[in-house]
Amino acid sequence: MRLHSAAPSPFVRKVRIAALELGLFDQIKIIETHVAPGKTDTQYGETVNPLRKIPALELDDGTVLMDSYVICEYLDSLAGNHALIPAAGDARWNVLTGHSVANGMMEAAVLIRYETFLRPEEHRWSGWIDEQWVKIHTGLGWFNQRLPESESSLEGITLACALGYLDFRNPDVDWRGDYSRLAMWHDSASQRDAFSLTDPNG
């Protein structure tokens, strides 16, 4: 399997942690792929992912899977024991909902990055950036009240990726001061090998 990746991407990190936790990482070859708005990689778009986003996973028979959620669900099915996503019941819906919220926080943080780093200064929209920050902070508060039951579920993995990306791109944002339960949860999750090996903060 070939995983189209870039080290700073929190969505790629989610897949890498999932593969490490499931013991499947040795079967994956990392392909460095650069996708940034404004720097169109037409070949990648035409041959791999029409949305030109990473991650995308190419299987040995040529099938391409995307996006990060689908890839994680696929890896979970290969491992065969529902370690990432519970098979049924409340546990399943809780993990999937937590994943959606953490993923949305990651999307907001990546959009802020594009808006502040890539978009020409005269075209930036500060009100829109503020709205993304509100989503991130409301999400942090939501998780501070409702910590994931498992660090290594898809919810726990995605939340750790969202928090790690905030530290990586916005080290000046002191989320730990406002969300102390979440900070303790993140300290504990970060001890896991799969999380520390992929930490963008080194």
Ligand X SMILES: N[C@@H](CCC(=O)N[C@@H](CS)C(=O)NCC(=O)O)C(=O)O
Give yes or no for a contact between 52 and 106, defined as CB atoms under 8 angstroms apart: no
Give yes or no for a contact between 174 and 141, defined as CB atoms under 8 angstroms apart: no
Question: Terminal CA-to-CA distance of the chain, rounded, Å?
Answer: 26
Tokens of 57: 């996973």
Nearer to ligand X, 109 or 194 (CB): 109
Q: How far is the CB of 145 from ligand X (least distance, A)?
A: 25
Nearer to ligand X, 191 or 201 (CB): 201
- At residue 187, the 3 state secondary structure works out as helix
Tokens of 26: 């040795």
Nearer to ligand X, 52 or 186 (CB): 52
- Residues in the site for ligand X, rule: CB under 6 A? 9, 11, 35, 37, 52-55, 67-69, 110
Q: How far is the CB of 67 from ligand X (least distance, A)?
A: 3
Nearest C-alpha neighbor of 25 from the set 69, 82, 62, 72: 72
Nearer to ligand X, 18 or 194 (CB): 18
Q: How far is the CB of 82 from ligand X (least distance, A)?
A: 20
Q: How far is the CB of 20 from ligand X (least distance, A)?
A: 17
Give yes or no for a contact between 199 and 164, defined as CB atoms under 8 angstroms apart: yes
